[in-house]
Amino acid sequence: MSQPNKLKTQATAFYILILYIVCQLSGLLLFIPGVRDIFLQFIDREPNESGIVLVAWWSTIAFAITFIVSFIIISRNKNFWNVYKGEKSSIGESIGWGILGFFLVLVGQTVAVNIELALGITLGSQNTETIIKVTEIAPIMILSTVLFAPILEELVFRRVVFGSIIQTQNFWIAGLISAIVFATIHNEFTHILIYAVSGFIFAFLYYKTKRLLTSIISHMLLNGFVTIAQIYGDEIQNWVKEIQTIIVFIQ
C-alpha cells in the first residue's frame, strides 16, 4: 500500500473511531433538561417503563445511524479493508471459522470465569443484566445488541484498533492491546478478563481469515446466545427436563 493510500486509510479509521465515540456519548443528550421529556411524549407506556423504552430506541437508532454513516465513509476508501498481505480466506471458510469462533469464545470465557472464581470474584455481569432487562421491556433492543453492536464493535476494535496496530507490530501485541481496549470500553472492570479473552479471540479470528466477517459472525452468535439464554433460560430448562422425562419414560 502506497504512503498516500495508507494515510487515507488511517484517516478513515480515525473518522470511524470518532463516530463510534460520539454514538456512545449520544445518550448523554437524554440528561439535558427538557430533551428527555420531548421524546417521552411519543412513548405510550407505563411511567416506570417509558424511560427504558426510550433508552432502547435511542440506542438502536444511534447504532443504526452510526452503522450507515460508517459504511458510507468506508465506501470512499477502497483500501480500507486491505490490512493484511496475502490471500483472504473464502467466504465459506470465513463463515465456518466464525461459527467455530463462537465456541472458542465460550471455552475462553469458561476458563476466564473459573479464574475469576479462583480469585474470589462474584459471577454475574451488571452490564448484561441491564441490557437483558431493557430487552425484556423493549424487544427493539435486540437489534442493537445482536446486530448493530457486534458489527460496529468489530469494525472499531478489530479493524480500526487491531488493524492499525498490526501493521507495525506483531499479532500478540496488537491482539493484547485491542483486547484490553475492548474490555475497558464495556466499563465492567471486575470482569475485564472475560471481555479481554473474548476480544483476543475475535482478533485471532480476524487475523486468521483476514476477513472481518469472521469475527462479526462469532460476536453476533455470542450476543444472540447470551440474550436467548438470559431471557428464555427458565423455559429452556423446563423444556430440557420434559425431554429427559420423555426419554426416561420411553426407556
pLDDT of residue 7 exceeding 80, the answer is no
To the nearest 10°, report the CA torsion of 103, 106, 111, 113.
Answer: 180
Mean pLDDT of 41-62: 88
Mean pLDDT of 230-245: 70
Residue at 110 is within a domain: yes
pLDDT attached to residue 241: 64
Give the least confident one: 38-42, 59-63, 142-146, 219-223: 38-42
Q: Cβ(71)–Cβ(194) under 8 Å? A: no
Residue at 89 is within a domain: no
pLDDT attached to residue 195: 95
Higher pLDDT, 248 or 139: 139
How many domains does one find in the chain?
A: 1
pLDDT attached to residue 176: 96
pLDDT of residue 245 exceeding 70, the answer is no
Mean pLDDT of 99-118: 95
pLDDT of residue 163 exceeding 80, the answer is yes
Task: Name the catalytic one among 116, 129, 186, 235.
Answer: 186
Q: Cβ(63)–Cβ(88) under 8 Å? A: no
In the annotation, is 186 catalytic?
yes
pLDDT of residue 156 exceeding 90, the answer is yes
pLDDT tier, 129 (very low <50, low <70, confident <90, very high otherwise): confident
In the annotation, is 219 catalytic?
no
Q: How many CB atoms lie within 10 A of CB 117?
A: 11
Please state, for a pLDDT cut of 90, what percent of the chain lies above it.
Answer: 63
pLDDT of residue 3 exceeding 90, the answer is no
Higher pLDDT, 234 or 195: 195
pLDDT attached to residue 249: 55
Residue at 190 is within a domain: yes
pLDDT attached to residue 121: 86
Write out the residue range of the structural domain in which residue 65 sits: 3-78+94-250
pLDDT attached to residue 5: 59
**Residue entry with cell 438470559:** 230
Mean pLDDT of 68-87: 90
Residue at 88 is within a domain: no
Q: For the chain, what is the mean pLDDT? A: 89
pLDDT attached to residue 16: 95
Residue at 39 is within a domain: yes
Which residue type sits at 192? I
DSSP string, the chain: --HHHHHHHHHHHHHHHHHHHHHHHGGGGGGSTTHHHHHHTT--S-HHHHHHHHHHHHHHHHHHHHHHHHHHHHHT-TTTT--SSSPPPPHHHHHHHHHHHHHHHHHHHHHHHHHHHHTTPPP--HHHHHHHHHHHH-TTHHIIIIIIHHHHHIIIIIIIIIHHHTTTS-HHHHHHHHHHHHHHHTT-GGGHHHHHHHHHHHHHHHHHHS-HHHHHHHHHHHHHHHHHHHHSHHHHHHHHHHHHHHHHHH-
pLDDT attached to residue 124: 76
Task: Name the catalytic one among 87, 116, 153, 235.
Answer: 153
Q: Cβ(207)–Cβ(171) under 8 Å? A: yes
Residue at 246 is within a domain: yes
Residue at 201 is within a domain: yes
Residue at 58 is within a domain: yes
Give the least confident one: 96-105, 121-130, 164-173: 121-130
To the nearest 10°, report the CA torsion of 156, 158, 159, 160.
Answer: 50
Rounded CA-CA distance 61/80 in Å is 25
pLDDT of residue 251 exceeding 60, the answer is no
pLDDT attached to residue 244: 62
